[in-house]
Amino acid sequence: MKINPLVSIIIPTYNRAKLIKETLNSIVAQTYSNWECIIVDDGSTDNMLAILEAYTQKDKRFHYYTRPSTRKKGANACRNYGLDIAKGDYIIFFDSDDVFSETALEERINSFKKNDVDMIITSMGLFTEISDLKVDENRFIFKANLEHNIDEFIVGDKLPWSIHRVTFKSSLIKNKIYFNEEMLRFQDVDFNIRVLKNLVPKYLSIDRTDCYYRNDTKSNERYNNKIFIDTVFENFYILYANIFKSLDKKKKEKLQKEIVIKLFVFIKAYYKKQNNSKIIIKIIKLFKEEFEISVSQQVALYSIYILNRFYYNKKGYFTITKKIRNMISE
């Protein structure tokens, strides 16, 4: 291993002029100096360009690009473009509103030097204001077991890890795997499943918080937005259509009940009267085609869809949903 290997930090961004300075400052402050930061803008309409030009002129380790017009709009296309041009021995995908602790890169590289692994996953904290970085006490501590973590990505309540927490050896993923540019949501789940399943990496989990996710309270407003939720369900369909293609019959049988519960919980949590009914029917049909769903499970899925469409939050709603949920296990 090189004494000071190059780390490529890839950041997609769109209209984050008010937030990205804190992200870039946290990179400048790193105790490890051999890095390049590739920022790919997705067509921002704010003053992002002026901010990024200031950073690139002051520090040549920053590189700013605009997503090529030949690539599909979206953060995933920006990440893929960044991956193509990255020169680092190690790759980190980061977001334009998150921050690193000062020793994040140094400690990650030292962990690679001490361990023969393809990727390292650390813990992630939360913050609302940059002065208030805190450890997420509810973070999911995962097992270093490949099959277990693939299953958790498919059916778990929480992701074993988000993409921001991972440092990849460039040789593991470069020219081998990319983000699905058709997806606007669940890209972490899709990407991580394919990394684990297709590349079968050796990896290490380190419960050390060295990066922080911005807890944007305004983001909750999106879940009352019809277009946003319709997009979420459309991407849920794409995700599980791809997952089903990768599972053999034995694995489908093992996870059948948990996958149906996952869909039930998802419909209950997000579907409302104003949302697109066709996509819900399409998803349920997909699940029915991929593995046997009992009559009681079908009734439960269609019932929660109808209940949310016509009786959401009305008297008796929560009592009825509990009874419907129990039908999945019958």
pLDDT surpasses 70 at 140: no
Query: Which of the four pLDDT bands, split at 50, 70 and 90, describes residue 138?
Result: low
Over residues 76-89, the pLDDT tens digits come to: 999 999 999 999 99
**Is residue 128 very low, low, confident or very high in pLDDT (cuts 50, 70, 90)?**
confident
Percentage of the chain modeled with pLDDT above 90: 68
- Band (122; pLDDT cuts 50, 70, 90): very high
What is the rounded average pLDDT of the residues 161-186? Answer: 95
pLDDT, position 143:
64
Confidence (pTM): 0.92
**Sign, Cα dihedral of 236, 239, 242, 244:** negative
pLDDT at 239 > cutoff 90: yes
Radius of gyration of the chain (CA): 21
pLDDT at 144 over 70: no
DSSP 54-119: HHHHH-TTEEEEEPPTTSPSSHHHHHHHHHHH---SEEEE--TT-EE-TTHHHHHHHHHHHS--SE
Read off the pLDDT of each residue in 91-111 and give the average, rounded to a whole number: 96
Domains and CATH numbers, the chain: 7-215 (3.90.550.10), 222-327 (no CATH)
**What Cα–Cα distance (Å) separates residue 177 from each residue in 192, 217, 247?**
10, 33, 18
The proportion of the chain whose per-residue pLDDT surpasses 70, expressed as a percent, equals: 94
What does the pLDDT average to over 206-233? Answer: 80
270-311: per-residue pLDDT in tens? 998 888 889 999 999 999 988 888 899 999 999 999 999 998
- pLDDT of 176: 96
Q: Give the pLDDT confidence of 21-69 residue by residue, as tens digits.
A: 999 999 999 999 999 999 999 999 999 999 999 999 999 999 999 999 9
pLDDT at residue 215, as a whole number: 78
